Amino acid sequence: MSASKSTTSALAILALSATTAIARDNVQIAGSSTVLPYASIVAEAFGENFDGPTPVVESGGSSAGLKRFCEGVGENTIDIANASRKIREKEIKACAEAGVTEIIEVRIGYDGIVFASQINGPAFTEFSQSDLFNALSPQVVVDGKLIDNPYQKWSDFNADLPDVEIATFIPGTKHGTREVFEEKVLVQGCKDTGAYDLLLAVAEGDSEKAKKKAAKKACYHVRTDGKSVDIDGDYTETLARIDSNKNGIGVFGLAFYENNTDTLKVATMGDIEPTTESIASGEYPVSRPLFFYIKKAHIGVIPGLKDYAEFFVSDEVAGPDGPLAEYGLVSDPELEATQTSVANETLLTGM
Amino acid sequence: MSDATHTSLMAQSAHTRRRNQAEKRFRAYGLAAIALGLTFLVVLLSTIFYNGVGSFQQSFVNVPVYLDPAKLDKKGNRDIADIKKVSTFAYAPLVQKGLFALIEAHGIETELKKPKDMKKLLSASSTAQVRDYVISNPGQIGETVTFRLLASSRVDGYIKGRVKRADVARDKNINVAQLDLSDAFIKAGVISKEFNLGFITGADASESRPEQAGIGVSMLGSFFMMLVVLGLSLPIGVAASIYLEEFASKNRLTDVIEVNISNLAAVPSIVFGILGLAVFIQFMHLPQSAPLVGGLVLTLMTLPTIIISTRASLKAVPPSIRDAALGIGASKMQTVFHHVLPLAMPGILTGTIIGLAQALGETAPLLLIGMVGYIATNPPDGLASGFLDPNSAMPAQIYEWAKRADPAYYERAWGGIIILLVFLLTMNLIAILLRRRFERRW
């Protein structure tokens, strides 16, 4: 019977793999789910244009990717970590402790974060950071005083907004997107509405700096009475929530929105419409750079690693007319500098 | 009792009527429950079929492409190394020119004049397809060759009715003029919808080209995983059950083992995933995302199922068979292997197949060992590579597609579910047939 044959072969391979290390000839990449589509587009084109095998790209989130990246040097560890934020001091330290002392940072472009709602829903077409802060914060400013958020409808604090219940779907705390949302939307709104000053006055801390930090942290808080829902899954989950709730507002990446314009309509932020142009110029306020990090020790050991990095940032791929821009990446105006730094294998400073 | 009114036996008393009505009600409840179940099944199957059937057809464009020597072989020496240096990006203008030639040849009027406008009609894979052809047939440079290229997912969606004319106004991936041109091409027979073999045999693709994605490579991943599961869990499971059922003495220890096996069968599969991550990848350093590791994890999950069903079928063999064998002088082992095991085989195989079917549809443990990753054009080349190279599995592939932004992938996910269901139904059918044909009742 074939069962016995496959048993022996499976056991033989098991024994083989347990004793010898497996030589690896493909580039292995893990990290941010925001960068994943771009990395997979590049990996695919790389496989078509070069002789070696197509790189393997996995997702899992920026933090998880960088953690695996910092596990050490060797064929069992990944070569590249994708991240939707800059690598943190703490992570650089963890990397160095595991022997990953030489890291090359590559900025591939920018990603816009947009607020969108059902295309047939109420007219959510204009937001400011203050609107979102008022809708989401557990404490808001009314008559110069900080009180528990009394607002149930958007029109309660801004007559221009629709007269419907507040229902927002924002990325959960494990997403890199949440960080951008907190920094660029909530903190800004917090300052604009004057809540920040009031929070600063009551903030506890030893120094002025500690107080400011505490006040800023207080701005990050989101109300917990069900008006705001954390989405821990992907944008598809947010889309499903929006689909079933006419009054819902969701947070999406620009690329995701551009692929789903038939069901979603986007809102402006502070009168600026999110487009690749307005994000590249920095006018649209809610955007972030995207990165990948290369383990220099693997260059020359893993075939195709440097070719992949150079191919990724080449004009044909990451430029304004390339496939990445077509998919929704806002290409970096300083791409040329990135190309040189990849070619020269410029290391991340401060290590 | 004494002054009871005499009632006819033919007429029902109030009590009897109540009892009969209760029975009728109970039957109605039962029928309603079955009807509800069937309705759900019909709704489920028809939704899957309705959403997924589109992925088995794909739109193709027949484009004549002039393989311009000035672009593809600048030195004119037909040296394969030089030809390979020309990247897919350089092929795009050639393919676009081919489309313009078609527009002229069929006398189609369109406002699209720029080569870039043609880009959105074709899949991004088209340039690679032409390049691969040129590399394997360098002699054809300078000729005009007609290629059967994939249409872009938006054009394909338009032909299938997924992309509506009214919706494209804000879609930057396609515009109305391009849809008009597609309509004209369909009329001219340039674009046609055909059976999509690539979906069943092909590899996964990146997010920008759903039209190219197929489930074939992850099917191979599932296949290699099932080999591992079968190869390990069948001998281990059967050996364990035979020992426990036929040889082990009944004491507290075997009772504990028995209880634990039953408990293991009820452990959520994600727990096995975490175990696999800790033991196989972090401790034993087996490669990430490899079908071997996936198979090992699924083996852990399938073992209890196989052990329980094997023990049940061993138990079902009447003791008289054992007694007879022992009576004529067979040893205990001879009894088991010559008489009990053959009789229990149909039950064991049925249990194994059902266990395998369960493992085939399992996603949760695969998430943790990295099998939900993007795997492009790398089908395994050989037995070792099939076990050890990173791959996906069918359910993981479906999960991956369902997550992606482009709505075309949604259709692909449903299509993948159809294929997975066909596999599961086939396996269950085989299990039923085996049982019907070979099982003996006493």
- Contact criterion met (CB < 8 Å) for B173 and A259: yes
In our burial notation (b when 16+ CB lie closer than 10 A, e otherwise), range B244-270 reads bbbeeeeeeeeeeebeebeebbeeebe
A111 touches chain B (CB under 8 A): no
Q: Are B351 and B240 in contact (CB under 8 A)?
A: no
The predicted model gives B185-206 an average pLDDT of: 89
Tell me what pLDDT residue B49 has.
Answer: 93
- Contact criterion met (CB < 8 Å) for A13 and B384: yes
Residue B337: pLDDT band by 50, 70, 90 thresholds?
A: very high
Residue A23: pLDDT band by 50, 70, 90 thresholds?
A: low
Tell me what pLDDT residue A260 has.
Answer: 87
pLDDT for A192 beyond 60: yes
Higher pLDDT among residues B39 and A238, named by residue: B39
Neighbours of A222 (CB within 10 A): 19
Tell me what pLDDT residue B373 has.
Answer: 61
Q: Residue B122 carries which DSSP code?
A: B
Which residues in chain A are contacts of B375 at CB distance < 8 A? Answer: 54, 56
The 3-class SS string of B48-107 reads: HHHHHHHHHEEEEEEEEEECCHHHHCCCCCCCHHHHHHCCHHHHHHHHHHHHHHHHHHCC
> Where are the alpha helices (H) located in chain A, listed in sequence order?
2-19, 36-49, 62-69, 89-97, 129-136, 176-181, 187-192, 195-202, 208-219, 235-244, 254-259, 276-280, 305-313, 315-318, 323-327, 335-343
pLDDT for B367 beyond 90: no
pLDDT for A9 beyond 70: no
Q: Could you read off the pLDDT of A65-120 as tens digits, one per residue?
A: 898 899 889 887 889 999 988 898 899 999 999 999 999 999 999 988 899 999 88
Which residues in chain B are contacts of A76 at CB distance < 8 A? Answer: 285, 287
pLDDT for B193 beyond 80: yes
| Beta carbon pairs, A and B, within 8 Å | 140
Q: Residue A302 carries which DSSP code?
A: B
Residue A21: pLDDT band by 50, 70, 90 thresholds?
A: very low
Closest to A257 in 3D by CA, of A147, A137, A177, A313: A177
Q: Are B147 and B60 in contact (CB under 8 A)?
A: no
In our burial notation (b when 16+ CB lie closer than 10 A, e otherwise), range B164-189 reads eeeebeebebbbeebbbbbebbbeee
Q: Are B284 and B217 in contact (CB under 8 A)?
A: no
Q: Which residue type, as a one-letter code, is found at position B301?
A: M
Closest residue in A to B352 (Cα–Cα): A3
Q: Distances in Å between the alpha carbon of A34 and those of A147, A182, B141?
A: 36, 17, 40
Which two three-digit tokens encode residue B135? 């590399």
- Contact criterion met (CB < 8 Å) for A47 and B89: no
Please give the share of chain B, as a percent, with pLDDT higher than 90: 44
Q: How far is B135 from chain A (nearest CA, A)?
A: 11
What does the alpha-carbon distance between residue B153 and residue B173 come to, in Å, rounded to a whole number?
A: 10
Type and span of the H or E element at B170: none
Closest residue in A to B223 (Cα–Cα): A6
- Across the interface, of B89, B286, B372, the residue whose CB is closest to A316 is B89
Q: Could you read off the pLDDT of A246-302 as tens digits, one per residue?
A: 899 999 988 888 888 888 999 998 888 888 888 888 889 888 889 999 999 999 889
Which range has the top average pLDDT, B194-208, B269-283, B292-306?
B292-306
Q: Could you read off the pLDDT of B52-107 as tens digits, one per residue?
A: 998 999 999 999 999 888 888 877 777 888 888 888 888 888 898 888 888 888 88
Residue B1: pLDDT band by 50, 70, 90 thresholds?
A: very low
Tell me what pLDDT residue B4 has.
Answer: 54
Neighbours of A102 (CB within 10 A): 18
Q: Could you read off the pLDDT of A266-275 as tens digits, one per residue?
A: 999 888 888 8
Question: Vertex B233, ends B228 and B235: CA angle to 5°?
Answer: 110
- Contact criterion met (CB < 8 Å) for B206 and A18: no
Tell me what pLDDT residue B377 has.
Answer: 59
Cβ burial, residue A130 (10 Å; 0-12/13-18/19+): buried
Which residues in chain B are contacts of A236 at CB distance < 8 A? Answer: 402-405
Which residues in chain A are contacts of B234 at CB distance < 8 A? Answer: 3, 7
Q: 3-class DSSP state for residue B376?
A: coil
Tell me what pLDDT residue B139 has.
Answer: 85
A134 touches chain B (CB under 8 A): no
Tell me what pLDDT residue A8 has.
Answer: 47
A234 touches chain B (CB under 8 A): yes
Which residues in chain A are contacts of B284 at CB distance < 8 A? Answer: 18
Tell me what pLDDT residue B442 has.
Answer: 66
Residues for chain B: how many in total?
Answer: 442
Closest residue in A to B167 (Cα–Cα): A262
The predicted model gives B322-327 an average pLDDT of: 94
Closest to B189 in 3D by CA, of B113, B105, B110: B105
What does the alpha-carbon distance between residue A100 and residue A82 come to, in Å, rounded to a whole number?
A: 16
A41 touches chain B (CB under 8 A): yes
